[in-house]
Structure 1
Amino acid sequence: MKKPKPKPNMWFPKNRSLRYPLAMMLGMSLIQSPQSIALPLTKHATVDVTRLDRTVTGKVKDEKGEPLVGVTVTIKGNNAIGASTDHNGDFSMVIPESLISNATLVFSYIGYAAVEAPLGQQTVFDIALTSASNQLEQVVVVGYSAKKVKYLSSSVSTINNEKLRDVTSNELPNLLQGKAPGVVVSSASGDPTSAGRILIRGAGTISAGTSPLIVVDGNIGGNYNPVDVENITVLKDVAATGLYGSRAANGVIIVNTKTGKAGKTEISFANTMGFAQATTGNFRLMNSQQLYDFQSTFYPREASVLQTNTNWWDEAFRTGFVNNHTVSASGGSEKTTFYISANYYKEQGTQIENDKTGYNFRANLQSQLTRRLAAKVLFNGTFNKDNYANSNTLYDAYNNLPFDPAYDADGQPIDGRTYPGWLGRDRESFLHSVPYNYSKAQSLAVTTDVNLDYELTDKITLSSYNRINFGNGLSASFNDKRTKQGGANSGELYNGTSYSSRLLTSNRIRYSEDFGKHGLTLLGVAEAETTYSSSTSAAGKGLPPGRDVMSVATDILTNPTGLNEQVGFRKFLGQADYNYDNKYFLVGSFVNEFSSLFGKNNSTANFYQLGASWILSNEEFLKNNKTITFAKVRASNGTVGNADGISNFASLGLYTISSDASYSGLPGAAPSQKGNPDLTWEKIRSSNVGFDLSFFNRIDLVVDAYVKEASELLYRKPLAATTGYSYVWVNAGSIRNKGVEFSLTTTNIKAKGFNWETNLNMAFNRNKVLELSDGSTVFNSGARQPIAVGHNMDEYNLPIWAGVNPENGDPQWEKVVKDANGNVTKELTSTYNQAQTADSRQFTGKTAAPKFTGGLSNTLTYKNFTLSAFFNFVYGNWVYNESRVYFDNDGLYESYNQMVLAKGWSRWEKPGDVVTHPKPIVGGNKDSNQSSSRYLEDGSYIRLRNVRVGYSLPDNVLGKSGFSRVSVFISGDNLWTGTKFSGPDPEVTLTQVDLSSGLSSLRYPISKKYLIGINFSF
């Protein structure tokens, strides 16, 4: 009797690219006997087999000899037969008689190099898997599917939990800095309540957002805590990002949280404690003696001022403490697994009265409900309390005079307004106001996912992924009447509330089948998302001292405000993914998306994506090559869109009801926003070519080159007052980004007990404004960084500083002169108004966008010891150090403290001096501190971001203690920064967000952190 053909199932589909994630995810295997009976299989499973079939058993361990749970065991070339290891690392499977003669077993597990073992005459296998030194074998989530990296046709970067968590922070952007090529993270503040900004492959917009789309556990958006993250996948080119359609223009970051594995329940505790200190870099403020000596050259001071020497910087900053504690439990059976965690994070800012406290709870449950139906329920709740840094404290730390005392004879903070003889310009001591004033907020965010996968047939899977988000926030800012800030209004209170809910459903159908050497996967998705939000705000004045509740306010400060908004997205997409013999890969997709953000005439848009790759190392001419162990070339082209960063009603004509438009005592409405029914998405067309190479299975090189051209840019266009409107949202102009990026990972030494791995990644990016609407050549004319055709969008346009006149110490700028024939010449002038005219302002060729960015890491392990060091670097960007206007002003503000001149700087003293700084004069030297290229500084830096030393107790020490793992570590963050920048820290926002790119102004510096941790499990 002829045996029926084995029937594949969803856990081991024929398409290899789909096989691994599903099997790993559920730690389960289904096999087919020759009689097509499918059963769950563990080492004790029994099946009805013919007399000549062979039962194979064995154990799979890691490099340390620990059993691995959920390892997939398959027969090479036959996807219908398989098993997975149980909690002891054991497996058992039946191999049909027809496959025995040439069978090879394949053992694969996420994060480990696959092992192939010929069957031969064996019935028992003892297999050891080693960690993959490269990422080619890792399974990553891309779009709405999962694949091994080596089978991708797109540009992606993956960072696992271990490499992500070397730096201590509760914000993902800070953890990503320098970890992936083309991913630039920048921060303008060391405040723990302020997260960094992420930019992928350059900014390509004027007024819209530049942040990447965040996808958590397969659904757009969502909440998570970094301690629960298993890995991060960054999607950079359209072949990967395109499925997310209108919101993928700035790249996609996919966050995958941890899941449980079948076997014994493991309970883990992770504890990190330490302290932080503010960095000062090359920056120093003058003490009393230094300031007295400097000012004596142009401003008479009584020597008695030297009796006081207050270090206001030290008064404003402190040693902050960091605590991060997590408890988690994971485990489950072959059918149901769980992961539960709770986290407490507290970081004191180094500026006084500034801190962040976070509480997070996560529960991930997944179960194989029936043979065909699998379910996931994911829950995450986050509660944050933020005490914001006081801007007055930072201002005073930089500018208050050391001649003014901080405390009176009784040790109490002095009120500068009433203290006789206070010399500082603002007559304020933050030490007096800080105990009374505050600005704080608290927020609660809850996310719940219910995800279902149903195997309709052995080739078709239906999925429904559903999420609901809730967010609630309260904010309060209080200025007591006893302080300078609250005195004018006899006390001020600002209250705000916010609420949001977001509903998302994503329904998917997937067809997958192999036809001999051909593999085909078809995907269809219908997705809908609606977000509701509301907020209110109120501000009152005339509050009694210390009474910070609105009910005691005697008058309103501003009229109460509120809003209710609703935004919707809807998407349909289709994708075809084809491969031939695991050598040639083609992928194509089409997306149609609707958004209520845009005008009624253009509320939908279509996008397409194409990708192809060729694995050369699977060809005969490279097979078994001992030098080139893997080689692949890739290419992609397509379109995506940007809908981020504009107001929810940007396309509509709006009116404002206010007292300003009242008539006869009745409220009136006046136009406030001009409508644009044609407003639509920004369109981004992108092309990418790249290659992946591995040499000797120890050197991995990934290189990508791309061109990204954005058109129909979203722009908030100013309108003349005569129109009755201040602005209108339009689509205007185009910008091009192009660049090259690479990642090089090398296993330098791999010997018994010792391993040394190095990773270097770098990215080079250039952008240019190609076109602006209405034939314009420049937007934001007169700004430091106007948007101008033919220029980098972050390029500075300023009066050009020409140094100091050596004869008299006056400042000099360039003056551009045009004669009657249009000939242009440049002259020197000491009159600022001549240098700042429209003709004399010049593009400097200097930009806030860096020429390249990157990171370098080294990890060494010796037996149970681990040592790692990580650097990140930025080169070629220029920073406008605006804060020097205050404390490097050539005598304009003698009532402000001054900075100690940086190395190599000098000040004019006598005729003939060739110096960097003009002669100081009371009231300033001819506007020398006005905006010009004088305050442009090289912002390049290299930073020792983290050093970490760890030790894990060996098993023979743990003995019968009950602990399965105990490890300790010491770690340091931001230990050293190499830079020429004169301020406390060169790191600034590097993109045109709120027109603040490249600006450093009274910077809250980052902190050095010194930490110790202990982690243990049982």
Structure 2
Amino acid sequence: MKQKLLSFLLGGAILTSVAFAQEKKVSGQVLTSSGRAVADVTVQVSGTSIVTKTDANGNYSISVPEGKTLIFRSIGYSQHTIVVGKATTYLVTLDDANTDLDEVIVVGYGSAVASKNAVGSFSRVGAKDIEARPSANALDALQGKVPGLQVFTSSGEPSATPSVRLNGVGSINGGTSPLYVLDGIPVGSGSIVSLNPNDFESVTVLKDASATSIYGSRAANGVIYITTKKGARGDRATINARAQWGFSNLARSEAQKNMMNSAELQQYWLDSGFSTQEEIDKIRKDWPNDTYWTDYYFKQNVPTKQYDLDVSGGSDKTQYYISTSYFDQEGVMYRSGFDRLTLRSNVTTRLNDWVRLGLNLAGGVDKRQTNQYTSNSLQGGLAILALPWYTPYDKDGNEYYDRQIPGLARYSPKYLADKFPSQLTNQQFNPTAFIEVSPVKNLILKSQAGLDYFNSRTSTRRLPSYNSNLNNGTAREEWQQGVSRTITNTIEYKWNINDIHRLTALAGQEYTDYKQDGFFGEGAGVADDRLILLGNATNTFAVGQSKTEYAYNSYFGRLAYDYNSKVFFNATLRQDASSRFGRNNQKATFWSLGANWNIKQEAFLNNVEWLTDLRLKASIGTSGNSGGSESTWNFQHIPTVSAAQYNASAAWGLNVIGNPDLTWEKQLMSNIGFNATLFKKLNVDFEFFNRDTKSLLMNIPIPYTTGYSQILSNVGKLNNKGFNFEVSYNIFNSPDFYLTPSVTFGYVKQEIKELFQGRDYWIIPNTGVSYVVGQPISFFYPMLKGVNPENGNFDWYVPGPDNTKTNTDPNNVTQSFSSAALQQNTGIKRYAPINGGFGLNTGYKGIFLESYFTYSLGKYLINNDAFFFSNPGQFAGMNQTKAVNDFWKKPGDVTEFPRFGVARQFDDSLIENASFLRLKSFTLGYQLPKELLGRTKFFKGAKVYYTGRNLLTFTKFSGADPEIDSNLVTGANPNTKQSLFGFQLTF
């Protein structure tokens, strides 16, 4: 009996000891990465309802079974987990959520998500790739960095805004630019140049329907989401001071170098019979010069400077980022420049466990001067037609500043810049404020409001002292003000079931309106350079006023599901109402479905060591296009009138016919792709996309008997399909040495599926561009066969019965030119199908080098400049390119140019391959060792560097610049290259 009792007591003791071994007290402290205690951190046993919180000193204590996982969560910090082992004390460090932004992205409203778990297709460019670049516009830094995103800068003006397109051209006449969102508030693309790129923490490009459909009617062309910098938690502020100085020049000058010098042109005139030896001898005697006019009309080594200062930091509850910047860049053409001063203050604070506030204030003033001679002007891009033996300097070396240059009958570009002063002053203001309330666990209510505001004034004068119009100066003042207001309200709720099933539901409402007002006044008869205000004009008065507005009201929702961090689903729905359409068509509904499968977590791949990560993504959904941000799209659904004068009395007339059935362009987009990481080094992203656009917004012709020539309608269908990929390889990645090459590639195949009124094609007058069903947007031009070797005239192919098909029958040619009769499909695409880039990022013990090339393949331009530069038959008295020396002289000659005196025509010989490879960015610098700086107990970091932009360009294009995004080039202000030297100190 005693033995049984002893056995029972011993067994009970063992069972009791086992029970106590399975659950024990665990305690510890939670700190920030800087060593500060974190209060109110939620500590939960994974898969259970056991939960506690840290006290004011960051201490915690909780009962937890051995082998279980503890999850530490706090607003503003990255989640941290530990597996409980034998120890009973655990010290936990939480990283600030903003310290690793590569892990978190914003996908459109609601909470940010881990980038690998995001369902949609996106690409993110970080601050490192954006800041300290020698360009006023941050979008320039995206060129070639994002697969499928085409970014072209078409002008050398420092204030130029690049053209941006994603995955092809999704509309024919409607807007093709993405929607720009700045910290949750939509802004215009023109506002980006007024902001300081160094304030940007990241730029995320949302590509597929799953990522963009929640933005609805303005997201058909993708979304570019800009996130500005925030302060980090810590007890010490961080101060960054940066200074940069540099210079700019033409990015390339091959077009100018191809022009003849004095000796070459004089010899050509002799060979062609245009001049006699006696005439040439007289020219050589009277004008013994050889002027390179490019150096006279385009400035060299024009200065650029930029100064930046920012302060960031915060406590556990409040974070701040404050910055100011000054940017000043001259253009290479006269009266061209950009001067910008900005100020930003971003503050977020957590009042308590359930209320968080934020206020971002960004403002600035910039002054812009743009050269006016950029379209077939002899004072601009065509200035190099000037005969090289003339000179802008007299025999004493004095410039003909206020006298016309002998032989040219032109004034100096400096003189014109001085006598025609013009400046646009723009004030930009972009405030954003939000309040976020979490009244119960996992429920977040958020309201956010913001503005995109500009106030610009343009002052233009022709001074009375201008010699060609003495004492008759002109004055013009123009004012524009525009403001876009957006308010967004969302409610978000999260469920977590046993740490396996996680659901997030979001619902929201958004209202956006835009109003723009403007007026101008001008007059002539200004008589004194000292009295040039508008009121001093004495005659030829004119005034004008404009006003436009539109509004959107939207409701949207999203449901996201995460199964055990393996499979992620996303569904969105949005309804938009727009004032741009009639009452019957004001509303439209857009939707999307998407999935992200983490295949690596499956059992059949979990133990494959060489495969670090593999995710398969797919999505399908719709979005819309309401015609872009231009005011021309407003009020098109209703008939409108315009006022005028008739017989000295007020009158009005019909302006727009109106179309009450007008509605959105509608797009259906599907994507499928994968993200993979191999050997922990090689990263590969690939996706295939298909974009179907219907109900295209197009101006279609109607009978003139209606009183109108066209009406805006929803017609036609367009398809873009293709694929994008990005590859990067971390060959080396150690504290002393790193080496990472990368490549991006994007391909688009475009096809017009349907036009209007049963037409198979439509030619856009005076553009050389046409729409043909079954083909991409193409160039339609007369096609040149070449120079007839028998008589030295041009031969052109005669189109076949169907001019939508290219006909190059050598037996069906003509020497009688007619643009209308000979135009046919050249088979040359208007838009480049291939765009991308490649680069190298490397460094060794503080020395760092970053280089990035961008490319565009299959890009073509109508080189309208060549019509002047290589057309001696029509412009014999002007300088010409060296190529015209290859001209026909006698029967049997096979040449590029006809016999002298035969004029060149507007045909496909002007369509040139403008594909290019460009060294977009290059940076070489040195980061001082932290060990050395640590001794000062003052500096945190210091670096010196050189950075360049557009340093090298490789292209066959004979014009000024291949990057111009247009169907033709007409004396444009060409792109520039910059070299900057800078240093940065961090305190």
Question: Residue in 2 aligned with 1:266?
Answer: 238
Question: Residue in 2 aligned with 1:255?
Answer: 226
Pairing of 1:489-528 with structure 2 (within 5 A): 490-516=472-498, 517-528=500-511
CA 1:752 to 1:340, structure 2 compared with 1: closer, same or farther past 3 Å?
A: closer
Asked if 1:595 is matched to 2:578, the reply is yes
Deviations 1:873-929 (A, max 9, x none): 111111211111111113311232222339xx94434443323222332xxx1x32x
Pairing of 1:117-136 with structure 2 (within 5 A): 120-121=86-87, 123=89
Asked if 1:1011 is matched to 2:980, the reply is yes
CA 1:70 to 1:227, structure 2 compared with 1: closer, same or farther past 3 Å?
A: farther
Q: Which amino acid aligns with 2:950?
A: N
> SS in structure 2 opposite 1:630?
strand
Give the Å deviation of 1:281: 4.5
Give the Å deviation of 1:823: 14
Asked if 1:651 is matched to 2:637, the reply is yes
Q: Do 1:681 and 1:712's aligned partners in 2 also have CA atoms closer than 8 Å? A: yes
Give the Å deviation of 1:77: 4.0
Q: Do 2:491 and 2:508's aligned partners in 1 also have CA atoms closer than 8 Å? A: yes
Asked if 1:305 is matched to 2:278, the reply is no
Question: Residue in 2 aligned with 1:290?
Answer: 264
Question: Residue in 2 aligned with 1:618?
Answer: 601
Question: Residue in 2 aligned with 1:212?
Answer: 178
> TM-score, normalized by length of structure 1?
0.86
Question: Residue in 1 aligned with 2:28?
Answer: 55
Asked if 1:221 is matched to 2:187, the reply is yes
CA 1:824 to 1:349, structure 2 compared with 1: closer, same or farther past 3 Å?
A: closer
Question: Residue in 1 aligned with 2:695?
Answer: 712
CA distance in 1, matches of 2:832, 2:37: 44
CA 1:108 to 1:814, structure 2 compared with 1: closer, same or farther past 3 Å?
A: farther
Aligned to 2:516, which of 533, 542, 560? Answer: 533
CA distance in 2, matches of 1:270, 1:349: 23
Q: Which amino acid aligns with 1:1008?
A: K
CA distance in 2, matches of 1:139, 1:96: 33
Question: Residue in 2 aligned with 1:672?
Answer: 655
Q: Do 1:583 and 1:614's aligned partners in 2 also have CA atoms closer than 8 Å? A: yes
Give the Å deviation of 1:324: 1.3
Q: Do 2:80 and 2:94's aligned partners in 1 also have CA atoms closer than 8 Å? A: no
Q: Do 2:437 and 2:446's aligned partners in 1 also have CA atoms closer than 8 Å? A: yes
Q: Do 2:576 and 2:589's aligned partners in 1 also have CA atoms closer than 8 Å? A: yes
CA distance in 2, matches of 1:865, 1:781: 54
Asked if 1:944 is matched to 2:944, the reply is no
CA distance in 2, matches of 1:71, 1:799: 75
Give the Å deviation of 1:118: 6.5
Q: Which amino acid aligns with 1:289?
A: A
Deviations 1:61-113 (A, max 9, x none): 8xxxx999999997794699799999xxxx95535221554336789999999
Q: Which amino acid aligns with 2:170?
A: G
Q: Do 2:71 and 2:82's aligned partners in 1 also have CA atoms closer than 8 Å? A: yes
Q: Do 1:437 and 1:478's aligned partners in 2 also have CA atoms closer than 8 Å? A: yes
Deviations 1:738-775 (A, max 9, x none): 11001112101124511111221110001111111221
- Give the stretch that moved more between structures: 495-504 or 110-119: 110-119
- Give the stretch that moved more between structures: 824-833 or 308-317: 824-833
CA distance in 2, matches of 1:807, 1:635: 62
Question: Residue in 2 aligned with 1:4?
Answer: none
Q: How many aligned positions are there? A: 936
> SS in structure 1 opposite 2:394?
coil
Q: Do 1:497 and 1:535's aligned partners in 2 also have CA atoms closer than 8 Å? A: yes
CA distance in 1, matches of 2:876, 2:465: 28
CA distance in 2, matches of 1:461, 1:215: 22
CA distance in 2, matches of 1:175, 1:893: 41
Asked if 1:233 is matched to 2:211, the reply is no
CA distance in 2, matches of 1:127, 1:364: 26
Deviations 1:667-717 (A, max 9, x none): 111111101111111111111111111112211111110110111111133
Deviations 1:167-191 (A, max 9, x none): 3211122111111001101122111
Aligned to 1:359, which of 341, 344, 347? Answer: 341
Question: Residue in 2 aligned with 1:5?
Answer: none
CA 1:112 to 1:572, structure 2 compared with 1: closer, same or farther past 3 Å?
A: closer
> SS in structure 2 opposite 1:175?
helix
* Structure 1 residue runs of 4 or more that deviate by more than 6 Å after TM superposition: 66-76, 78-86, 104-118, 126-136, 822-825
Question: Residue in 2 aligned with 1:555?
Answer: 539
> SS in structure 1 opposite 2:64?
helix
CA distance in 2, matches of 1:415, 1:345: 30
Aligned to 2:368, which of 377, 386, 392? Answer: 386
CA 1:857 to 1:140, structure 2 compared with 1: closer, same or farther past 3 Å?
A: farther
Q: Which amino acid aligns with 1:209?
A: G
CA distance in 1, matches of 2:595, 2:698: 35
Q: Which amino acid aligns with 2:574?
A: V
Give the Å deviation of 1:932: 0.8
CA 1:110 to 1:128, structure 2 compared with 1: closer, same or farther past 3 Å?
A: closer
Give the Å deviation of 1:842: 1.6
Deviations 1:13-41 (A, max 9, x none): xxxxxxxxxxxxxxxxxxxxxxxxxxxxx
Give the Å deviation of 1:1000: 2.1
Give the Å deviation of 1:396: 5.0
Asked if 1:971 is matched to 2:963, the reply is no
Q: Do 2:594 and 2:619's aligned partners in 1 also have CA atoms closer than 8 Å? A: yes
Q: What fraction of aligned residue pairs are identical, expressed as a percent?
A: 26
Give the Å deviation of 1:119: 5.2
Give the Å deviation of 1:586: 1.5
Give the Å deviation of 1:792: 4.4
Give the Å deviation of 1:945: 1.2
> SS in structure 1 opposite 2:267?
helix
Q: Do 1:798 and 1:843's aligned partners in 2 also have CA atoms closer than 8 Å? A: yes
CA 1:780 to 1:134, structure 2 compared with 1: closer, same or farther past 3 Å?
A: farther
Task: List gaps (5 residues or longer) in structure 2.
Answer: 1-22
Give the Å deviation of 1:418: 5.8
- Give the stretch that moved more between structures: 779-788 or 971-980: 779-788
- Give the stretch that moved more between structures: 291-300 or 192-201: 291-300
Question: Residue in 1 aligned with 2:898?
Answer: 918
Q: Do 1:768 and 1:792's aligned partners in 2 also have CA atoms closer than 8 Å? A: yes
Q: Which amino acid aligns with 1:677?
A: P
Q: Do 1:451 and 1:465's aligned partners in 2 also have CA atoms closer than 8 Å? A: yes
Aligned to 1:345, which of 304, 321, 327? Answer: 327
- Give the stretch that moved more between structures: 392-401 or 146-155: 392-401
Q: Do 1:786 and 1:793's aligned partners in 2 also have CA atoms closer than 8 Å? A: no
Task: List gaps (5 residues or longer) in structure 1.
Answer: 1-49, 990-996
Deviations 1:195-219 (A, max 9, x none): 2111111112122211111111122
CA distance in 2, matches of 1:308, 1:816: 48
CA 1:979 to 1:166, structure 2 compared with 1: closer, same or farther past 3 Å?
A: farther
CA distance in 1, matches of 2:876, 2:73: 74
CA 1:725 to 1:560, structure 2 compared with 1: closer, same or farther past 3 Å?
A: farther
